[in-house]
Amino acid sequence: MFSINENYLKLNESYLFSTIESKVNGFTRNHPQADIIRLGIGDVTLPLPPSVIAALHKAVDEMADKSTFHGYGPEQGYAFLRETIAKNDFIDRGLDIAADEIFISDGAKSDTGNIGDILGDANVIGITDPVYPVYLDTNIMRILQSSITSSKILFLTCSEENKFLPELPPKRVDVIYLCYPNNPSGTVMTRAQLKKWVDYALENESLILFDAAYEAYITEDDIPHSIFEIEGAKSCAIEFRSFSKNAGFTGLRCSYTVVPKALKTVTSTKKEVSLNALWRRRQSTKFNGTAYIIQRAAEAVYSPEGRKEVRSMVDYYMQNAAIIREGLAEKGWTVFGGVNAPYIWLKCPDTTDSWAFFDRLLQECHIVGTPGVGFGLKGEGYFRLTAFNSHEKTLEAVQRIKNWKQ
Amino acid sequence: MFSINENYLKLNESYLFSTIESKVNGFTRNHPQADIIRLGIGDVTLPLPPSVIAALHKAVDEMADKSTFHGYGPEQGYAFLRETIAKNDFIDRGLDIAADEIFISDGAKSDTGNIGDILGDANVIGITDPVYPVYLDTNIMRILQSSITSSKILFLTCSEENKFLPELPPKRVDVIYLCYPNNPSGTVMTRAQLKKWVDYALENESLILFDAAYEAYITEDDIPHSIFEIEGAKSCAIEFRSFSKNAGFTGLRCSYTVVPKALKTVTSTKKEVSLNALWRRRQSTKFNGTAYIIQRAAEAVYSPEGRKEVRSMVDYYMQNAAIIREGLAEKGWTVFGGVNAPYIWLKCPDTTDSWAFFDRLLQECHIVGTPGVGFGLKGEGYFRLTAFNSHEKTLEAVQRIKNWKQ
C-alpha cells in the first residue's frame, strides 16, 4: 500500500485559524442574532486603495487584447516589480539589495512554509514560543520523519520575563525563525537587539529566516524595517515581506522574499552553494509566478498616490491598536504590543486557560480573538487581538470588554 | 554550518524551459532582426475571453468597496467556484465528485509539484519517460535524500514501439504519475487503456496522480476527460485540472485538484488516513488561497458565454495543431499527437540529438521548439511543437520548415 508522510499525524488536526472559524460558525448557528466582532485572524477590512484598483483595471484590460496579453511570466516575478521593490524598499533606504535577489510570490505564508524545501533534514531549527504556527507546522511536516526524536526543533521561550524577546539559544541552532514586528506578541527588536542575532548567526554559521510582514506598522525610530539594515545580514539571512498587511492584499495574494546572493553554505562534500540559486530552482520547478495583474497592483503600491493611501490605511489600523491597548489597560488588564504592530497581546485576566478565555469572550462579549496557546505552549495564558477591524467595531468591542463582568 | 537539501544538486542546474529561454535570448541578442516563432513552451497567445474579463472587472470593483471587499478566502477555495466545478465538470457528466473534494490553487504546476509533501519517502514512484519535468524534478528534490540509491523512481518507457503509452510496470510501484492527453507526446489513453491502470492501482494499492490539464483538447469520443470516469478511480486517484490551457489562464494562475474522500491508505501502525484530509492540512498550512478576483474569473469560464468562448479558443489552437501535424507529415516527417492535444511530437529527421535539432531549427528557421530529451532520456531523438501560436505564425512556421533544406 502506498505510504503517506506520517509527520502529518503529529500535527493538530486542523490549522489554528480553521479551528477558530469552526468554533465561530458553531456559535453563530446557535446565536444567529449575535453581532460578532472579529479581532481574531489578522485579516484587513479596508478595501484596496484607489491606485491599486486602477492598476488592476488597467492590467485586466491588457489581458483582453492580444497585443498586450500576458501568459506565463517569469517564475521569479516580473522585472518591473522586482526593480521597483529593490529601489523603494532597499536602495532608497541605503540598503544594497538587487532585483535578482528578490522573488515575487503569492504570499509570505507560502514562502515561509516552502522555504524548508531547500534546507537539509539535519538542521536544528530554532523557533520562538509563542510563534506564527506556520513555521512550526511546516517543520513538523518536513523534518521529523527522518529523525526519531523531536530534538531538531529548539523552542526559544518568549515570556513576560524577557519582554517576549527570546534569549540567544543555549546551544547551537542551524536555522532560526524570527518575526519582527512580532506576530503574535506585537513586540519589536531594536537595531542593537537584532544585531545580537545577526552576530550569533555569523559566528555560528546559522541561517536566519526573518519575517518582516509587519514592517509597515513600525512607528518608532530605532526599529529596523529590514534585517538587511544590520551589517553582515546578507551573509546569513533570508527576509520575507508581504503586501497583505500594508496594502490590504490578503485577498489578492502577493509577497516577496529576499535571498541575497552573498548567502552561501557548503555541502557535505564542501562544495559552496548559493541559496539564491537553490530558491530560484525551487520556485521555477514548483511555482509558475504570481498573476501579472496582481504584480501590476503591487507595483502601484509604490506610486506617490499608492504610498499615501497605504500610509493612511496603516495609520487607521494603528489608531485601532491604540484604542484596544489603551482601553484594556484602563480596565486594568496587562497588555503588550500595539505600538509598532497591529497586534495586542494580553494576559488573560483571571485564567491561564486561553481557550476558555476565547470561549467566554465569544459567548459573553461576542468578540473573536486568538488564544495564545494556539501559538505555542508558552502562549498559554495570553490572548491576541488584532487592529484590523473598523474604528466603530473596535470602539464597540473595547466598550463591551470594559462593561464585561468577568 | 547550516545544511541544504542536497537533492537539489542532483538536478539539472536550471529548469528545462529556463534553459530554452536563455538560449533564445542569446540568439536574439546576436540576431536582433530575426523573426522568431515560438512553438516551444506551452503558453497560450489568445487574450482572455470577454466573459472572463468582465468577471475580473466586476470582482476588482468589489475589492474597492468596504462592503464587498474580500480579504483572506478559504484556503481550499471559495464554495461558489468549487460548487460550479463539481456541477459542470463532474455531476453534469454523471460523475459523483463533491465540492469538498475540490481544492482550488494557483496552478497545476504548484499542485503536481507539492503533492509529494503528503506522501511517504518509502514509496516507489512510477514516472513515464518522456515526462513533464516537474514530476521528476520534484521527486528528486524530495525523496532521494533519505535513500542511497535512486531505485525509488521507476521509469516507464514511452516509445514509438508502444505508441508512447507505457506498459504496466514490471514490478510494483506505489505512486504513478499519468498525464493524458499527454505532455509532451500529445497521445491519449482510451477508456479501456486507462481502466488497465486503475485496475492495476486498485490491485496493488497504488496511487495514481492523474494530470488532466489538457482534457479540453480531446476531440475523439472514447477518450476519458477525467480519470473518475473509470470505475474505482475514486479509491486510487488524485486528478489535477487547470484553467491555463482551456481558458488562457497561464498568466492569471488558477487550477484545481480533486482528492476524493474515498481515497485512503493506512499508516505503518495500520491507522486509516484520508488523503483529502492530509491535502487540506497541507494547503491550509502552506497556502492562503487563490485571489478572489481570479476565482471569480474561473467561475465565468462555466457561464454559457464563457463556455462558447473557451470552445472557440480551443478550436483555434486545434486548427493550428492540424496545420503543424499535416504540414510536417507532408514533408515526410514522422509525427504523433495533435489530434486530442495541443502538442505535436515529431521524430527528429536525420539526427537523434534533439538539442542539436533545437539549435538548427532556431538558427536556420528561427523557430523555437522543445527538445525531446528535455522530457527524459527516452525523449531523445524527438521534438515537441505546440499549437499555441497564431494561425498566421503557425502557417509561417510550417512554411519555413517545408522550405528548409536540412
| Distance in angstroms (rounded) separating the CA atoms of residues A284 and B22 | 14
B 272-331 residues with CB < 8 A to A: 273, 275, 278, 281-282, 284-294
Whether pLDDT at B338 is above 90? yes
Same domain, A75 and A123: yes
b/e sequence A26-50, b meaning 16+ C-beta within 10 Å: ebeeeeeeeeebbbbbbbbbbbbbe
Same domain, A397 and A282: no
| Distance in angstroms (rounded) separating the CA atoms of residues B310 and B186 | 20
A164-211 confidence digits (pLDDT tens): 999 999 889 999 999 999 999 999 999 999 999 999 999 999 999 999
Q: Answer whether B147 touches A (CB < 8 Å).
A: no
Query: Is B59 a member of any domain?
Result: yes
A62-95 confidence digits (pLDDT tens): 999 999 999 999 999 999 999 999 999 999 999 9
Same domain, A101 and A159: yes
Q: What is the mean pLDDT of residues A280-289?
A: 94
Same domain, A34 and A59: no
Query: Is B379 a member of any domain?
Result: yes
ipTM exceeding the 0.90 mark: yes
Mean pLDDT of the residues in chain B: 95
Q: Answer whether A59 touches B (CB < 8 Å).
A: no
**Confidence (pLDDT) at B146:** 52
Same domain, A74 and A116: yes
Q: Answer whether B7 touches A (CB < 8 Å).
A: no
Q: What is the CATH number of the domain that holds B68?
A: 3.40.640.10
**Confidence (pLDDT) at B14:** 67
B234-292 confidence digits (pLDDT tens): 999 999 999 999 999 999 999 999 999 999 999 999 999 999 999 999 999 999 999 99
Smallest CA-to-CA distance from B226 within B236, B235, B243, B239 is with: B239
Q: What is the mean pLDDT of residues B130-153?
A: 79
Whether pLDDT at A163 is above 70? yes
Whether pLDDT at B145 is above 70? no
Same domain, A290 and A320: no
Q: Answer whether B252 touches A (CB < 8 Å).
A: yes
Among B302, B330, B361, which residue terminates a domain?
B302
Residue A152 neighbours by CB under 8 Å, 6+ apart:
A122, A123, A124, A125, A139, A143, A144
B205-233 confidence digits (pLDDT tens): 999 999 999 999 999 999 999 999 999 99
B163-194 confidence digits (pLDDT tens): 999 999 988 999 999 999 999 999 999 999 99
A334-378 confidence digits (pLDDT tens): 999 999 999 999 999 988 999 999 999 999 999 999 999 999 999
**Confidence (pLDDT) at B144:** 64
Range(s) of the domain holding residue A340:
6-47+305-403
Q: What is the CATH number of the domain that holds A347?
A: 3.90.1150.10
Same domain, A151 and A249: yes
Residues of A in contact with B121 (CB under 8 A): 5, 145-146
Distance (Å) from the alpha carbon of A100 to chain B's nearest alpha carbon = 15
A100-141 confidence digits (pLDDT tens): 999 999 999 999 999 999 999 889 999 999 999 999 999 999
**Confidence (pLDDT) at A148:** 44
Task: Quickly state the pLDDT bin for A144 (edges 50, 70, 90).
Answer: low
Question: Cβ–Cβ of B138/A286 closer than 8 Å?
Answer: yes
Helices marked H in A185-291 — which ranges? 191-204, 244-247, 275-286
B26-59 confidence digits (pLDDT tens): 999 999 999 999 999 889 999 999 999 999 999 9
Task: Quickly state the pLDDT bin for B148 (edges 50, 70, 90).
Answer: very low
Residues of B in contact with A71 (CB under 8 A): 43-45, 248, 250-251
Task: Quickly state the pLDDT bin for A145 (edges 50, 70, 90).
Answer: low
Whether pLDDT at A150 is above 60? no
Q: Answer whether A123 touches B (CB < 8 Å).
A: yes
Query: Is B1 a member of any domain?
Result: no
A289-338 confidence digits (pLDDT tens): 999 999 999 999 999 999 999 999 999 999 999 999 999 999 999 999 99
Distance (Å) from the alpha carbon of A221 to chain B's nearest alpha carbon = 30
Per-residue three-class SS string for A57-113: HHHHHHHCCCCCCCCCCCCCCCHHHHHHHHHHHHHHHCCCCCHHHEEEECCHHHHHH
**Confidence (pLDDT) at B205:** 97
Same domain, B233 and B175: yes
Distance (Å) from the alpha carbon of B406 to chain A's nearest alpha carbon = 32
**Confidence (pLDDT) at B304:** 98
